[in-house]
Amino acid sequence: MTGTKTRILDTALDLFNRHGERNVTTNHIAEALGISPGNLYYHFRNKTAIVAALFERYRQQIWEWLPPPKGELTWQDKMHYLQGILESMWQGRFLHRDLPHFLHQDPELRAEYTQFVQDGMERGLQIYQGLRASGLIEASDEDLRALMVNTWVLAMSWPGLTHGLNPAAAENETLDRALLRQGIYQIVCLEAPYLRGEALNHLDAMKAEFRVGDTTVNLLFTASDPHVGEVSNG
Amino acid sequence: MTGTKTRILDTALDLFNRHGERNVTTNHIAEALGISPGNLYYHFRNKTAIVAALFERYRQQIWEWLPPPKGELTWQDKMHYLQGILESMWQGRFLHRDLPHFLHQDPELRAEYTQFVQDGMERGLQIYQGLRASGLIEASDEDLRALMVNTWVLAMSWPGLTHGLNPAAAENETLDRALLRQGIYQIVCLEAPYLRGEALNHLDAMKAEFRVGDTTVNLLFTASDPHVGEVSNG
């Protein structure tokens, strides 16, 4: 990929993630890069092509963030996988926030996304099976599959749901990332009943690492706040 | 509410749920009803107003489908609540499938939706606490809250995710409803580690009630199918 092409994708990703893809035109992207619209069109014929290229890049990154398990896994490996999910939610948040729109507007992307779901579920099951083989998780095959589906749904949906409730947070990276951290806390809670050995011994540490107590954003209710109705939505 | 107004909402809901709100105009709705566009505009000034009225009706129905717990609960009560969640996913599927779009286009709806999330979480917690008080669930306050958030996310996201992967299923009510039943199975699996007493004794019955083995649609992988890559997407 040429330098300009990479720079276009970097800039588009940044603008999409901060302002939402609907609010960013190809002219905005060209302007932010200091290139002409014509130069941009030379590399990407329209915004849909940029979204498709960003999805492809995102998909490749996910396989790196969530590598297949090798040998005996430790609870630190488990933490790395959780960090990998957080990173994927963060880098791809513009996609997650408006997924029905992208799947609707581009049938090719929908086909790619369907394949991505299948591959992602397979990779995730491999990882859960690796954790089980290492004595960090105990679950039947059926339970493990259902857990994988629920983890997938949570990771894919959390950025969109929290963004829908807190659209202004997208302008503030610290707040915006806090919203996503709480999603990882929710995944830890999802897995908690199945954890064993040193993963179970470190459950409180894992929760503490991702739990967000900040009530200046609507986190679908933080675990520590007993006053459900009082959570503000700033 | 006048008869015509109710008929407009009934017809709009049916068309939105089957074809997606983006593909249905106010003229389509008027035509399906055999009334003039002018008559429709007399009752609703635009499509956004119809969506807002449908959301309001949906919200009222949810409080009826998921009533506050009264006295000792049984596992049959638990089943009724699961049926209630299925019914809410089914009736409101057009909303769930394109939620970011609706929240984005109508700031008033976003405010109403935020309140709905808070009220819904509170009602859900009441129900889970009722199940706990009746000995059907065992969980700490923190676990119960995290479970409630995960149940909420799953119920809200499942219709959109499965629809995104199977858009053609919307034209076939049997298939379309099967997609949603599998979401309830996923909620049962989410709750499974916390079930006790007769709820635990009936866990297999609850799973069997909602598990869908049909592989002609992509159900984000049915629990019974060990061949992840082979699930077809027809």
Q: Which CATH number fits domain B51-230: 3.30.70.1450, 1.10.357.10, 1.25.40.20, 3.30.420.10?
A: 1.10.357.10
Per CB-CB distance under 8 Å, the chain A contacts of B193 are: 193-194
Q: How confident is the model at residue B168 (pLDDT cuts 50, 70, 90)?
A: confident
pLDDT-based confidence at residue A215 (cuts at 50, 70, 90):
low
- Distances from the Cα of A36 to the Cα of A27, A32, A202, angstroms: 8, 10, 53
- Averaged confidence pLDDT in chain A: 89
Contacts of B113 in chain A (CB under 8 A): 164-165
Distance from CA of A103 to the nearest CA of B (A): 6
Q: Select from A150, A193, A224 the Cβ nearest to the Cβ of B186.
A: A150
A100–B98 C-beta distance less than 8 A: yes
pLDDT of residue B5: 95
Question: pLDDT, tens digit, for every residue of A54-96?
Answer: 999 999 999 999 999 999 999 999 999 999 999 999 999 999 8
Question: Which runs of consecutive H residues, i.e. helices, occur in chain A?
Answer: 3-19, 26-33, 37-43, 47-65, 75-91, 93-97, 99-105, 107-133, 141-165, 173-191, 197-201, 203-210
Q: Is residue A230's pLDDT more than 60?
A: no
Q: In the prediction, which pLDDT does A176 show?
A: 86
Confidence of residue B233 (pLDDT cuts 50, 70, 90): very low
Residues in Cβ contact with B85 at an 8 Å cutoff, skipping those fewer than 6 apart = B65, B66, B155, B184, B187
A100, A193, A231: residue with CB nearest B100: A100
The residues, ordered by sequence, that sit 6+ positions from B91 with a Cβ below 8 Å of its Cβ are: B13, B17, B58, B61
Measured distance CA(B158)–CA(B155) in Å, rounded:
6
Q: Given A194, A223, A228, which is nearest B142 (Cβ)?
A: A223
Residues of A in contact with B98 (CB under 8 A): 100-101
ipTM, 2 dp: 0.89
Average pLDDT score over residue span B47-66: 95
How much is the pLDDT for A112?
93
Contact at CB, A110 and B164, closer than 8 angstroms: yes
pLDDT average, residue stretch A33-38: 96
Predicted local confidence at residue B231, as pLDDT: 36
Distance of CA B234 to the CA centre of its chain: 23
In percent, how much of chain A has pLDDT > 70?
91
Contact B99 A22 (CB under 8 A): no
| Higher pLDDT pick, B2 / B115 | B115
Minimal-distance CA residue of chain B relative to A166? B114
Cα dist from B43 to A50, B5, B7, B203, whole Å: 42, 6, 11, 48
Task: Write the residue in B22, B193, B228 that is nearest to A121 by C-beta.
Answer: B228
CATH of domain A1-45: 1.10.10.60
Mean pLDDT of chain B: 89
Q: How confident is the model at residue A162 (pLDDT cuts 50, 70, 90)?
A: confident
pTM of the model: 0.90
Rounded to the nearest angstrom, the gap between the alpha carbon of residue A90 and the centroid of all alpha carbons in its chain is: 5
Please report the DSSP string for chain B in residue order: --HHHHHHHHHHHHHHHHH-GGG--HHHHHHHHT--HHHHHHH-SSHHHHHHHHHHHHHHHHHHHSPPP-SS--HHHHHHHHHHHHHHHHHTHHHHHTHHHHHHH-HHHHHHHHHHHHHHHHHHHHHHHHHHHTTSB---HHHHHHHHHHHHHHHHHHHHHHHHH-GGGGG-HHHHHHHHHHHHHHHHHHHGGGB-HHHHHTHHHHHHHH-----SS--S--TT---GGG----
Tell me what the mean pLDDT of segment A131-149 comes to.
96
- Mean pLDDT value of segment B102-111: 88
Q: Determine which of A221, A224, A225, A233 to mutate to test the interface with B (most B C-beta atoms within 10 Å).
A: A221
What span, in angstroms and rounded, lies between the C-alpha atoms of B146 and A83?
Answer: 19
Query: Considering only CB atoms, which chain B residues are within 8 Å of A193?
Result: 193-194
Indicate the SS3 state at residue A213. coil
Residue A231 confidence (pLDDT) above 60: no
Check whether B150 has a pLDDT greater than 90. yes
Residue (of A176, A193, A208, A72) closest to B143 by Cα position: A193
CB A81 within 8 A of CB A66: yes
Chain A hits for B153, Cβ within 8 Å: 153-154, 157-158, 161, 186, 220
Spell out the domain ranges in chain A.
Answer: 1-45, 51-230
Distance from CA of B100 to the nearest CA of A (A): 6
C-alpha angle with apex B148: B144 to B150, nearest 5 degrees?
115
* Cβ contact B189–A164 (<8 Å): no
Q: pLDDT at residue A233 above 60? A: no
State both tokens at A193: 């009943």
Which residues does chain B have within 8 Å of residue A220's beta carbon, measured at their own beta carbons? Answer: 117, 121, 149, 152-153
Classify the C-alpha dihedral A223-A228-A230-A233 as positive or negative: positive
- Which residues in chain A touch residue B163, judged by CB atoms under 8 angstroms apart? 100
Name the nearest CA neighbour of B217 among B184, B171, B155: B171
Instruction: Dig out the tokens for A185 from the structure.
Output: 């806390």
Percent of all residues in chain B with a pLDDT value above 90, rounded to a whole number = 72
Average pLDDT, stretch B13-24? 93
Instruction: Determine which of B24, B145, B166, B180 to mutate to test the interface with A (most A C-beta atoms within 10 Å).
Output: B145
